[in-house]
Amino acid sequence: MLGRGLKRKLSDYEENMAGLSSAFDSSRSLSYPLRRQLVLNMCLTKLQTYKMLVEPNLHRSVLIANTVRQIQEEMRQESNQQPINVCPGITPSTHSYVESSGVSLQLPSGISQQESHCCDLRSVEDPIENSLLIVSDDDMSSAISSILKDLDFVEDISPPTCLVPTGDDQPKFPENTGLKLEDDRQDLKGAECVFGSFEISNSTSYLKDLAIDDIFEDIDTSMYDSDFCCPPLMPPRPPSLATEEPLKTFPSCNSSSASNIQICRADLSELDHIMEILVGS
Amino acid sequence: SLAGFGNLMQDVLWCFSQVKGTIDIGVTEADIISTVEFNHTGELLATGDKGGRVVIFQREQESKNQPHRRGEYNVYSTFQSHEPEFDYLKSLEIEEKINKIRWLPQQNAAYFLLSTNDKTVKLWKVSERDKRPEGYNLKDEDGRLRDPSMITVLRVPVLRPMDLMVEATPRRVFANAHTYHINSISVNSDYETYMSADDLRINLWNFEITNQSFNIVDIKPANMEELTEVITAAEFHPHHCNTFVYSSSKGTIRLCDMRTSALCDRHAKFFEEPEDPSNRSFFSEIISSISDVKFSHSGRYIMTRDYLTVKVWDLNMENRPIETYQVHDYLRSKLCSLYENDCIFDKFECVWNGSDSVIMTGSYNNFFRMFDRNTKRDVTLEASRENSKPRAILKPRKVCVGGKRRKDEISVDSLDFSKKILHTAWHPSENIIAVAATNNLYIFQDKVN
């Protein structure tokens, strides 16, 4: 199917994660910093996976981003409260850590006053810890903002300002037939972000591919078809067109399907209804 | 008699009535039921599935000859409501899955319902035809047009009986108003308007007008990076057409009054329970996200479902719910695993019975739970083919949380998390419930004595 997200294969990493999450649930001996690290890694992995989808789930992304924010805030508070400490035994297993003047490592796995505490736990937690990614504060922030930016879809509806109809004004039409970029700066920014993640190499190529009819399919003519206020008699028409021409009443917007049997049925049943009135059931 | 002895809910014994759907081992994804809804009289029961189809069941008239078959539900109409679509502009596929069905109250011989997928709401008319006019002047019996110059005699068409035909026709298509995914629709008590809610916005529609809608709630921030909360469900008050509620991913409910302003960004009431510090975990916010909100029939209460509990709120008390029911608290110690396999994001619905005295919601392993608000008793039942003998009484189930497992109990680790009951419905006035278990629809009734 087009546009679908990638199908994940169960990798070693994920099998490891499943084992780790069971360890999280069942084991009480996992230290709090390690549990937090585990959750953080899971969150970032999920966000990373969502970013690869064409349309990430907004609800889940927000919940996961909030969890990352919560952990991030906690870590920030900890690093503000305590001096930076070195835990020599812990070996980071991957890329993102900050090294300043040689000694300090930014240890997201919790900064403990007691080195011995770290080293004692080493024997239990090393295999677990070695499989976790070490993540910086910047990594967390950028993971959150990049997934949320991806969810800022360019809107094809008008900005929803107050829609109280006055005597003269028409209420805003929520639909249009083309892409409408907002004037607002933030929406432009959103537009750029969205287009940044899509591969539209030639902006006119897909217009050429569309049949002309498809472009006009989403014009809604249903206001011309009225269910409850139709006159009892049909307006005069040439007999050859009398009952056979279905009104194009309900075009499916964005639909690639040209035929719509239900449209014809709607029209015929309407005529049957009129016949019944005339005949007097 | 001892019929009720030992059962948790002694007033009602639930029996199997019917099951719809195939028993195939491999489930076609399109057949997975995604919504279930009785109409206002309970005469009709509608289901929507992932394949975009709607199936309507009708309750048969009760027969004096077979009093124990208290009105079975049989297929009345089946139609394709939504088709998969492709949004060329955003390069996205739009799923045909039916997210919600809501019935309109019946005003004439035809039935009307709203069905929605992620983007488009449709109004469907379901009507019967058992007569057909014959003897047209301008066309012959096959429908072919007659040459008007050959017509010399005029006749009046007459209605002749025909086999009953049930037709579903789309009457309105309400499209292009939602950028994000629609999660709820709700018919207003004025029967002239309804609302549709997506992750960030709620729109108000008039049934007659499809090319415009009023936006009444918008929580999209100017900068999406500041987004921390989404709308998860919304519903109109059953009697007050100006009042509605919507729930959020942060576990809060807002009640809005449309009379105060056109854009209801400022709530009239804000319902939130303070967090219990002893239950705090990394997953606290995720499990607090409300997956469903329902007004009671009386309009005095709202019920919310989050991952582990069902809560009943009094509209007059905003600072905490008046009742909290544990659906499956034994999962609290499994949250990391449930997060890892995404089950923690499952959206369970909840329903009231007709008298608002009992509430029901689903769980895993095809279990569903009922809570009697008066007696404070609860029961766990299972929707399974094994318990599907006609009029067999459902046996209460129990999950063993530790220690010695009794013979009929099931341990937490043995639960099947792929068998989830997300959608249930309760007949508006009788003890008849419909439970959707993946691709099967179970109908249970209370025991007839």
Report the complex ipTM: 0.91
Indicate whether A65 belongs to any domain.
yes
Indicate whether A207 belongs to any domain.
no
Indicate whether A265 belongs to any domain.
no
Cβ-based contacts of B170 with chain A (< 8 Å): 250, 262-263, 266
Q: Hey, is the C-beta of A4 within 8 angstroms of any chain B C-beta?
A: yes
Indicate whether A103 belongs to any domain.
no
Q: CB distance B93–A21 less than 8 Å?
A: no
Kindly tell me the burial class for residue B367, based on how many C-beta atoms sit within 10 Å of its own C-beta (0-12, 13-18, 19 or more).
buried
Cβ–Cβ pairs < 8 A, chains A and B:
221
Domains contained in chain A, number: 1
- What pLDDT was estimated at residue A221? 59
Q: Which residue of A has its CA nearest to B92?
A: A3
Choose between A233 and B205: higher pLDDT. Answer: B205
- What pLDDT was estimated at residue B206? 97
Going by DSSP bridges, is the β-strand pair B253-257/B269-271 parallel, antiparallel, or unpaired?
antiparallel
Among A179-193, B38-52, B95-109, B389-403, name the one with the lowest average pLDDT: A179-193
CA distance linking residue B347 with residue B133, whole number of Å: 49
B335 token code pair: 């949250």
Indicate whether A140 belongs to any domain.
no
Q: Hey, is the C-beta of A155 within 8 angstroms of any chain B C-beta?
A: yes
pLDDT at A91 over 50: no
Closest CA relative to residue B262, chosen from B342, B206, B223, B204: B204
Among A240-254, B45-59, B120-134, name the one with the lowest average pLDDT: A240-254
Tell me the pLDDT tens digit for each residue of B282-292.
999 999 999 99
Q: CB distance A175–B87 less than 8 Å?
A: no
Q: Hey, is the C-beta of A149 within 8 angstroms of any chain B C-beta?
A: yes
Indicate whether A72 belongs to any domain.
yes
CA distance linking residue B319 with residue B274, whole number of Å: 8
Which segments within A137-280 are labelled E, that is strand?
none
Per-window interface: B 143-182 vs A, CB < 8 A: 145, 148, 156-159, 167-173, 175-177, 179-181
Q: What's the pLDDT band for A164 if we cut at 50, 70, 90?
A: very low
Per-window interface: B 246-285 vs A, CB < 8 A: 249, 261-263, 282-283, 285
Indicate whether A18 belongs to any domain.
no
Q: Hey, is the C-beta of A222 within 8 angstroms of any chain B C-beta?
A: yes
Q: What's the pLDDT band for B144 if we cut at 50, 70, 90?
A: confident
CB neighbours of residue A206 within 10 Å:
12
pLDDT at A90 over 60: no
Cβ-based contacts of B86 with chain A (< 8 Å): 2-3, 254, 256
Q: Hey, is the C-beta of B223 within 8 angstroms of any chain A C-beta?
A: yes
CA-based radius of gyration for chain B: 24
Q: Show the domain range for A46.
A: 31-79
Indicate whether A69 belongs to any domain.
yes
The model carries a pTM of: 0.74
> What φ, ψ does residue A81 adopt, rounded to 5°?
-80, -35
CA distance linking residue B268 with residue A70, whole number of Å: 29
Residue pair B187/B194 in contact by the 8 Å Cβ criterion: yes
A260 token code pair: 């719509």
Rounded (10°) CA dihedral B257, B263, B266, B272? 70
Tell me the pLDDT tens digit for each residue of B94-115.
999 999 999 999 999 999 999 9
Residue pair B423/B405 in contact by the 8 Å Cβ criterion: no
Long-range Cβ contacts of B346-349 (<8 Å, 24+ apart): B346/B291, B346/B307, B346/B420, B346/B422, B347/B232, B347/B291, B347/B292, B347/B422, B348/B291, B348/B292, B348/B305, B348/B307, B348/B420, B348/B421, B348/B422, B349/B291, B349/B292, B349/B305, B349/B422, B349/B423, B349/B424
